[in-house]
Structure 1
């Protein structure tokens, strides 16, 4: 799959520079989906704030995210047709950000998408005004949350956390949010970050 072929270079996106694309990233267990859902409820009814419904090659009822579920073949066909502003692969799945987000950005709106740290270079190429929101937590908290899911052994979880980085690598405009404490605390921070982007 050649996702890069469907990314427009920044100098071809002059009409799309008015709005801001905020991409939310973070390690498993940091509470990324939960915080995004909380923020979406806060901004419900706001015509200038849009939370992206991603296209993913997984079952519709899997995970904690409202997404459009498609087969691998349908995803590839959509990608070939230019249906995505950004697409990437991770953990055996394919993810796509619908091309329609460009229309909202052209109107000067704020668009928020669930992303991946490994795909940030693609977001940066596609969106001239990009804000990265990195949701993190302490390794101890991450380990506790991941083990509570019951999908991995304690040994596997600890090994994965040792290999992973909690920071965003690269020259991006990043807001780090520590979600080690209460959801209410982190929720106030992400809402504040997003409100500041609306005011830009």
Structure 2
């Protein structure tokens, strides 16, 4: 059996990363999401163990101290981490894995998984990004402004990725993303 392939996908908030990744997992039967750990509270509709493994700060700190995470980061005030043992197990079993992750986490993974394919998704404009974040209805204006400021910084990292996908029209972006 061949090892699976690892796809690392990053994007600023509001670029459509989660939508494109979900479409890819539905389209390709051998592709699965990596389920990261986080200390943030679940959003409406999120299921523990499916979207994230939701844990408290103390449990996260224990796992971090034990060296369980191949990457971890503080993002918007919450901790996120990817289990190295789980990722390696799935890849060894031949499973293709998609890791949705911010740029700082991707940089950590690049050092450990140089064979991975790194994909960066960008919105067509800052205005489109703002509109997408606002239409979610999940964040306050203050949080949206912070996310937009961070988006500007994150987009500077796009040059470190193998592929850059502009998510202007979803169906067209998916064709580019899945090729």
Scaled by the length of structure 1, what TM-score is found? Answer: 0.72
More deviation, 57-66/109-118: 57-66
Q: CA deviation at 1:110?
A: 2.6
Q: Name the counterpart of 2:164.
A: 176
**Partner residue of 1:115 out of 95, 101, 108:** 101
How is 1:120-135 mapped onto 2 (pairs within 5 angstroms)?
120-135=106-121
Which structure 2 residue ranges, 5 or more long, are not aligned? none
Distance, in Å, in 2 between the alignment partners of 1:77 and 1:161 is 28
Q: CA deviation at 1:96?
A: 1.1
Counterpart contact for 2:103–2:154, Cα < 8 Å: no
Distance, in Å, in 1 between the alignment partners of 2:150 and 2:63 is 34
Any runs of at least 4 consecutive aligned residues in structure 1 with deviations exceeding 4 A, and if so which?
Answer: 62-65
| Residues 9-32 of structure 1 deviation map (CA, whole Å, 9 limit, x = unaligned) | xxxxxxxxx543211111111011
Aligned pair count reads 170
Across the aligned residues of Structure 1 and Structure 2, the Cα RMSD in angstroms comes to: 2.9
Distance, in Å, in 2 between the alignment partners of 1:162 and 1:67 is 22
**Structure of greater Rg:** 1
Say which SS state the counterpart of residue 81 (structure 2) adopts: strand
Which structure 1 residue ranges, 5 or more long, are not aligned? 1-17, 193-200
Counterpart contact for 1:177–1:190, Cα < 8 Å: yes
Distance, in Å, in 1 between the alignment partners of 2:178 and 2:148 is 33
